[in-house]
């Protein structure tokens, strides 16, 4: 008998009709002889609505109380789904994060799962019950409710799958898998049958909004076999695993991320210790730096440019004002109408022509590259934001998926 964890996102459980559709998927899996644990998100826009409700009361509620509020969303879905399954005549029980012992660290609003006490889960499964678990929530060592960050139910599902050594963890969503590009931008984007954890992690970090990136990290760490598939159409989705057949397809996907801005410190001294100073200040403020570029020194000065998340650009500039003055920088500039476009694929490391092909596609489309960053499995370029969709399209065309 296999253990299967099935996670259903907010749109999949949005109303009664959809809940019955989910109940059918779950009970079919159960009837086929599997042990089934179901992890649910809050219905539709419930989490956003709850955040808005909190804002009516206070602009600055404590994170503890916000977590208490937000965890209610998943509690609604889990009980409604259990009622639907009950009505269909199957043995079922719904459990909150704390009832199944999802232990997290002490922080709130973006807590990390430390461990899962699986006794309760296992004893319910032993009784041949379908177990429905509230995603996105846990409990910390002070017995306070915590949440895992927006989109965190994916991570709940993978953590439970890892704890139970499940045979498969299925993430049911409103798309039928992982695509080579956002199908809303690229009409002939193709669905991938398989992708490696590392490739998916890059895609998730680079702007593909399908999986919570922490869930992918965890799936890799514990070798959880993950499948992303549609709750609306019954067909195979995309399987995530350690190694996949590369065949002809060297690139797995093209992504775009608009949440970026470029900051430059212009004409700072070309002496040791400058980069250290700048990036340690940003690190202290918890500002994540992405692409970094340093110009060749001339007249004993150089420029350093880097990208940060768009919503952290003001904070970054503020934090650097003092050093800029100290170093007598000519100026700090910020270009915030940029986007990062990336290609991801395990083949990049071993195939030297790939970068050239990407740059050629951009050159032919007359799109200027402002910054470049590469790793073993990705190449990212920073370009003007208003050209980003076109860039995704022309790069996708060039790689002949």
Nearest distance in Å: CB 317, ligand ASP: 30
Nearest distance in Å: CB 149, ligand ASP: 8
Q: Which is nearer to ligand ASP, 195 or 211 (CB)?
A: 211
- Pick one of Mg ion, ligand ASP, none as the site partner of residue 135 (Cβ within 5 to 8 A by kind): ligand ASP
Nearest distance in Å: CB 368, Mg ion: 37
d(CA 357, CA 180): 17
**Residue among 126, 46, 123, 125 at smallest CA distance from 80:** 46
Nearest distance in Å: CB 73, ligand ASP: 5
| Tokens standing for residue 30 | 């159960």
150 belongs to the binding site for ligand ASP (CB under 6 A): yes
d(CA 392, CA 401): 13
Nearest distance in Å: CB 41, Mg ion: 4
- Pick one of Mg ion, ligand ASP, none as the site partner of residue 140 (Cβ within 5 to 8 A by kind): none
The residue with its CB nearest to ligand ASP is 153
Contact window for ligand ASP (CB under 6 A) among 83-91, 150-158, 320-328, 375-383 = 150-158
Residues 29-88 that bind Mg ion (CB under 5 A): 41
Q: Residue 105's beta-bridge partner residues?
A: none
- Pick one of Mg ion, ligand ASP, none as the site partner of residue 73 (Cβ within 5 to 8 A by kind): ligand ASP
Residues 3-42 that bind ligand ASP (CB under 6 A): 10, 41-42
d(CA 181, CA 286): 30
b/e for 83-115, b at 16 or more Cβ within 10 A?
Answer: ebbeeeebebbbbbbbebbbbbeeebebbbbee
Residues 362-401 that bind ligand ASP (CB under 6 A): none
Which listed residue (97, 135, 253, 345) binds ligand ASP by CB under 6 A? 135
Which listed residue (34, 35, 153, 213) binds ligand ASP by CB under 6 A? 153
152 belongs to the binding site for ligand ASP (CB under 6 A): yes
Residues 54-93, one symbol each (x = binds ligand ASP by CB under 6 A, - = not), give -------------------x--------------------
Which listed residue (4, 10, 74, 362) binds Mg ion by CB under 5 A? 10
44 belongs to the binding site for ligand ASP (CB under 6 A): no
Nearest distance in Å: CB 200, ligand ASP: 17
- Pick one of Mg ion, ligand ASP, none as the site partner of residue 253 (Cβ within 5 to 8 A by kind): none
Count of residues touching ligand ASP (by CB under 6 A): 11
Nearest distance in Å: CB 135, Mg ion: 9
Binding site for ligand ASP (CB under 6 A): 10, 41-42, 47, 73, 135-136, 150-153
Binding site for Mg ion (CB under 5 A): 10, 41
């Amino acid at each position: 008998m296999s253990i299967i964890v099935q996670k259903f996102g907010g749109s999949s459980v949005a109303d009664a009709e959809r809940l019955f559709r989910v109940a059918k998927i779950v009970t079919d899996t159960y009837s086929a002889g599997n042990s089934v644990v179901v992890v649910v998100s809050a219905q539709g826009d419930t989490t956003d609505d709850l955040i808005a409700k909190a804002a009516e009361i206070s602009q600055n509620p404590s994170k503890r109380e916000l977590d208490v509020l937000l965890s209610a969303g998943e509690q609604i879905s889990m009980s409604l789904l259990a009622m639907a399954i009950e009505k269909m005549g199957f043995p079922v029980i719904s459990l909150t994060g704390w009832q199944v012992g999802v232990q997290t660290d002490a922080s709130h609003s973006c807590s990390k799962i430390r461990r899962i006490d699986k006794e309760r889960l296992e004893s319910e499964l032993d009784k041949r019950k379908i177990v429905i678990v509230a995603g996105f929530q846990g409990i910390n060592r002070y017995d306070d409710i915590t949440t895992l960050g927006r989109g965190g139910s994916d991570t709940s599902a993978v953590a439970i799958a890892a704890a139970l050594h499940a045979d498969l963890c299925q993430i049911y969503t409103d798309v039928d898998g992982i695509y080579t590009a956002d199908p809303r931008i690229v009409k002939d984007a193709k669905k991938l049958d398989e992708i490696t954890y590392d490739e998916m992690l890059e895609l998730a970090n680079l702007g593909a909004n399908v999986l919570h990136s922490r869930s992918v990290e965890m799936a890799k760490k514990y070798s959880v076999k993950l499948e992303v598939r549609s709750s609306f159409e019954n067909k195979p989705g995309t399987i995530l695993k350690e190694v996949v057949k590369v065949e002809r397809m060297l690139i797995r996907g093209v992504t775009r991320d608009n949440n970026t801005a470029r900051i430059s410190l212009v004409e700072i001294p070309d002496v040791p210790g400058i980069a250290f100073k700048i990036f340690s200040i940003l690190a202290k403020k918890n500002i994540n730096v992405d692409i970094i570029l340093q110009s060749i020194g001339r007249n004993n000065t150089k420029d350093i440019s880097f990208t940060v998340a768009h919503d952290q650009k003001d904070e970054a500039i503020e934090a650097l004002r003092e050093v800029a003055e100290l170093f007598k920088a000519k100026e700090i500039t910020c270009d915030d109408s940029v986007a990062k476009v990336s290609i991801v694929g395990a083949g990049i490391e071993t195939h030297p022509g790939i970068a050239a092909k990407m740059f050629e596609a951009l050159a032919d489309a007359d799109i200027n590259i402002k910054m470049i960053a590469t790793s073993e499995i990705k190449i990212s370029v920073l370009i003007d934001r208003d050209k980003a969709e076109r860039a995704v399209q022309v790069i996708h065309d060039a790689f002949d998926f």
